[in-house]
């Protein structure tokens, strides 16, 4: 653990020095490199051993922006004809949501799960919210119609944006969504020690690349634009996607949205908790 912490600290020190120094010579180039780092998945999701359940699934794949997106499809013994898509988060993969497949197929749902570009079994090494959103929309076009989507973290933000273009979507489950991208950029900048001017440049580079203001990348904003029945799950101690961002949208009391707030489950344990999994399954199954 000490070696890992040292490696982590050295990496942060390297990026802090490199990016802030580069910003002195070329603020634009430094901002672009910071954005590239912001969109680079981290961790060991690609090294996770394939769960047996995935060996028994039907394989699915398609091309998106020059990358191959790989996925799986499970057909229940008695299908209701309703399809549910599972969407993982940043630096994660579909394998981590294995427990949800039998829960959903036991209710008659057909289940789809795909690894986003740069994650799991899919190709690529970069991801952003628009790519994630477009992946979901392409899954809807190729393998839909989707009855429901359950998604975590960055995948949940992307799912909320996709839902704005999916008026026929019946159910949406947002698990610890990356509620406000501005907060994510601020947390990222603080973590690697970016100066305020470089953080502002990163936001400008993001907006220029996306051709949208950063305010667009908001699950809170998207929720106000859809009528899809939504279950939003969040933990008060989430260190990645802070609960503080959730309070304003929770207070709006949208009639189509239900919030389930936990305490002590953090960012990832929340979807692993059996009681939460049951809440999600029941929500999707209920009329």
Residue 44 in any domain: the answer is no
Residue 187 in any domain: the answer is no
CATH code, domain carrying 252: 3.40.50.1820
Do 91 and 232 share a structural domain? Answer: yes
% of the chain exceeding 70 in pLDDT:
96
Do 114 and 32 share a structural domain? Answer: no
CA distances from 53 to 57, 60, 94, 95 (A): 7, 15, 11, 9
Do 221 and 204 share a structural domain? Answer: no
Distance of alpha carbon 56 from the chain centroid? 25
Do 224 and 166 share a structural domain? Answer: yes
Q: What is the pLDDT of residue 7?
A: 47
Residue 186 in any domain: the answer is no
Residues 102 and 99: their CA atoms lie apart, in Å, by 6
| Strand pairing report for 110-114 and 83-87 | parallel
pLDDT, average across residues 255-265: 98
pLDDT, average across residues 274-281: 97
Residue 265 in any domain: the answer is yes
Burial of 274 (0-12, 13-18, 19+ CB in 10 A): exposed
Radius of gyration over alpha carbons of the chain, in Å?
Answer: 19
Contacts for 177 with CB less than 8 Å, ≥ 6 apart: 151, 152, 153, 156, 157, 159, 160, 219, 232, 234, 241
Average pLDDT, the chain: 94
Do 209 and 75 share a structural domain? Answer: no
Most confidently modeled of 1-5, 9-13, 92-96?
Answer: 92-96
Do 91 and 2 share a structural domain? Answer: no
Residue 33 in any domain: the answer is yes
Q: What is the pLDDT of residue 3?
A: 40
Read off the pLDDT band of 8 (50, 70, 90): low
Q: In what order do the strands lie in the sheet with 110-114?
A: 58-64, 67-74, 110-114, 83-87, 148-152, 171-175, 229-235, 257-262
3-class SS of residue 224: coil
Number of domains in the chain: 2
Residue 185 in any domain: the answer is no
Do 169 and 91 share a structural domain? Answer: yes
Q: Using alpha carbons, select from 287, 284, 221 the residue that is nearest to residue 254.
A: 221
* Element holding 232 (H helix, E strand): strand 229-235
Do 121 and 19 share a structural domain? Answer: no
Residue 87 in any domain: the answer is yes
Summarised one tens digit per residue, pLDDT across range 171-219 is: 999 999 999 999 999 999 999 899 999 999 999 999 999 999 999 999 9
Question: Residue 79 above 50 pLDDT?
Answer: yes
Residue 166 in any domain: the answer is yes
- Quote the domain boundaries for residue 12: 1-38+196-215
Residues 87 and 265: their CA atoms lie apart, in Å, by 19
Q: What is the pLDDT of residue 15?
A: 83
Q: Is the dihedral of CA 54, 55, 60, 65 positive or negative?
A: positive
Q: Is the dihedral of CA 43, 46, 49, 52 positive or negative?
A: positive
Q: Are 178 and 221 a contacting pair, CB within 8 Å?
A: no
Residues 159 and 132: their CA atoms lie apart, in Å, by 8
Question: Residue 50 above 50 pLDDT?
Answer: yes
Read off the pLDDT band of 14 (50, 70, 90): confident
Q: What is the pLDDT of residue 48?
A: 86
Q: What is the pLDDT of residue 6?
A: 38
Do 250 and 149 share a structural domain? Answer: yes
Residues 279 and 277: their CA atoms lie apart, in Å, by 5
Tell me how long the chain is.
287
Do 275 and 157 share a structural domain? Answer: yes
pLDDT, average across residues 43-56: 86
Do 160 and 202 share a structural domain? Answer: no
Do 233 and 107 share a structural domain? Answer: yes
């Amino acid at each position: 653990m000490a070696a890992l912490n040292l490696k982590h600290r050295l990496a942060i020190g390297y990026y802090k020095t490199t990016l802030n120094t580069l910003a002195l010579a070329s603020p634009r180039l430094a901002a672009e490199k910071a954005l590239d780092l912001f969109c680079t998945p981290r961790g060991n999701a690609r090294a996770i051993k394939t769960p047996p359940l995935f060996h028994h699934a039907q394989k699915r794949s398609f091309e998106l922006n020059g990358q191959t997106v790989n996925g799986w499809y499970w057909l229940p013994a008695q299908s209701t004809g309703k399809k549910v898509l599972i969407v993982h988060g940043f630096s994660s993969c579909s394998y981590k949501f294995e427990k949800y497949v039998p829960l959903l197929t036991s209710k008659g749902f057909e289940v789809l799960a795909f690894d986003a570009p740069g994650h799991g079994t899919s190709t690529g090494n970069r991801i952003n919210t628009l790519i994630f959103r477009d992946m979901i929309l392409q899954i809807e076009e190729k393998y839909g119609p989707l009855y429901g989507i359950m998604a975590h973290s960055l995948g949940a933000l992307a799912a909320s944006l996709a839902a704005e273009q999916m008026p026929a979507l019946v159910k949406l489950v947002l698990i610890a969504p990356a509620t406000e991208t501005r907060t994510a950029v601020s947390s990222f900048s603080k973590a690697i020690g970016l100066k305020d001017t470089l953080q502002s440049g990163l936001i400008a580079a993001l907006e220029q690349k996306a051709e949208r203001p950063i305010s667009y990348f908001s699950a809170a904003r998207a929720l106000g634009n859809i009528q899809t029945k939504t279950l939003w799950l969040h933990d008060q101690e989430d260190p990645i996607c802070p609960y503080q961002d959730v309070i304003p949208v929770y207070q709006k009391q949208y009639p189509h949205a239900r919030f389930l707030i936990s305490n002590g489950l953090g960012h990832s344990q929340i979807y692993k908790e059996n009681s939460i999994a049951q809440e999600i399954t029941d929500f999707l199954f209920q009329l």
